[in-house]
């Protein structure tokens, strides 16, 4: 009996040594404006890789704070490159991994059934009689909220509208406020407005680029991915973001690629 048990243990040990290691799970923190684009990018990545991605969407500023406090993300995709750049300076990123993956754009968006002809009225749309509440992302931690404030200040209408604001925790929630009637118009990411499910629900006016600072969006690998398997997996996904396939997806969702219009 003892010999049989030893033989079984030996066999199991040999098999265990030859079994492939389980795929590492890549923890990705991504800005909410990427909601639709990044899900397509992840799906394509997982088709050609054994690695799995656990995606968390939210406010870039909130992620920045969480990462500084030890949140174990492997890859960080921010809507404002200053956040990963600050993490780089703090020594929390893999050296040399900071890069610009896209340039964001903003739009004024209303539900399709709204009486507000936002494309025709443009900035005057905010003063239509049907507009009682204006949704923007919270500028305290959401880059798209800061872009919205800058645009409204550029046109000299911020002070006239600030009492009408309702603040979304991130740009996805801002769009939800308009979609559900909690606000009558909102300033959201073009990348959300052109997503098929959202495009069918609304209409928008693209706010000219000169009205707000350049929205340079940055990605980085974090030192939380120091485990050898996780770091290798994180690098695979990081490289996939740079791939022609991923860049084409971002472009389809209205992002400028890094070589896009240079200004500010």
Q: Does position 227 have pLDDT exceeding 90, yes or no? A: no
pLDDT, average across residues 218-247? 90
Q: What is the pTM of this model?
A: 0.86
Average pLDDT, the chain: 90
**Residue 37: which of 172, 154, 164, 144 has the closest Cα?**
172
**Rounded distance between C-alpha atoms, residue 218 and residue 101, angstroms:** 6
Q: How confident is the model at residue 24 (pLDDT cuts 50, 70, 90)?
A: confident
pLDDT of residue 229: 72
**Interval 152-168: pLDDT, tens:** 999 999 999 999 999 99
**Interval 189-199: pLDDT, tens:** 999 999 999 99
Domains assigned to the chain: 2-103+214-252 (3.40.190.10), 106-206 (3.40.190.10)
**Which phi and psi (to 5°) does residue 146 adopt?**
-65, -35
Q: How confident is the model at residue 143 (pLDDT cuts 50, 70, 90)?
A: very high
Q: Does position 210 have pLDDT exceeding 80, yes or no? A: yes
**Rounded distance between C-alpha atoms, residue 134 and residue 149, angstroms:** 12
């Amino acid at each position: 009996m003892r010999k049989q048990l030893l033989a079984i243990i030996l066999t199991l040990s040999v098999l265990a040594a030859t079994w492939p290691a389980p795929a590492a799970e890549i923890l990705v923190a991504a800005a909410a404006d990427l909601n639709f684009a990044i899900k397509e990018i992840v799906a394509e990545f997982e088709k050609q890789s054994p690695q799995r991605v656990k995606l968390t969407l939210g406010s870039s500023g909130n992620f920045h704070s969480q990462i500084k406090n030890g949140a174990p993300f492997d890859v960080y995709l921010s809507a404002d490159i200053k956040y990963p750049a600050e993490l780089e300076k703090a020594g929390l990123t893999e050296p040399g991994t900071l890069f610009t993956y896209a340039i964001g754009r903003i739009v004024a968006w209303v539900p399709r059934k709204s009486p507000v002809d936002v494309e025709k009225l443009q900035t005057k749309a905010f003063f239509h009689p049907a507009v009682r509440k204006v949704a923007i992302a919270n500028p305290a931690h959401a880059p798209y909220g800061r872009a919205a404030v800058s645009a409204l200040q550029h046109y000299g209408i911020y002070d006239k509208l600030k009492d009408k604001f309702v603040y979304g925790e991130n740009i996805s929630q801002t769009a939800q406020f308009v979609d559900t009637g909690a606000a009558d118009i909102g300033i959201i990411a073009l990348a959300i407005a052109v997503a098929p499910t959202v495009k069918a629900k609304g209409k928008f006016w693209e706010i000219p680029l000169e009205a707000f600072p350049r929205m340079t969006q940055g990605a980085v690998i974090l030192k939380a991915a120091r485990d050898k398997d996780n770091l290798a997996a994180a690098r695979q996904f990081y490289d996939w973001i740079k791939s022609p396939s991923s860049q084409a997806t971002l472009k389809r969702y209205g992002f400028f690629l890094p070589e896009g219009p240079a200004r500010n």
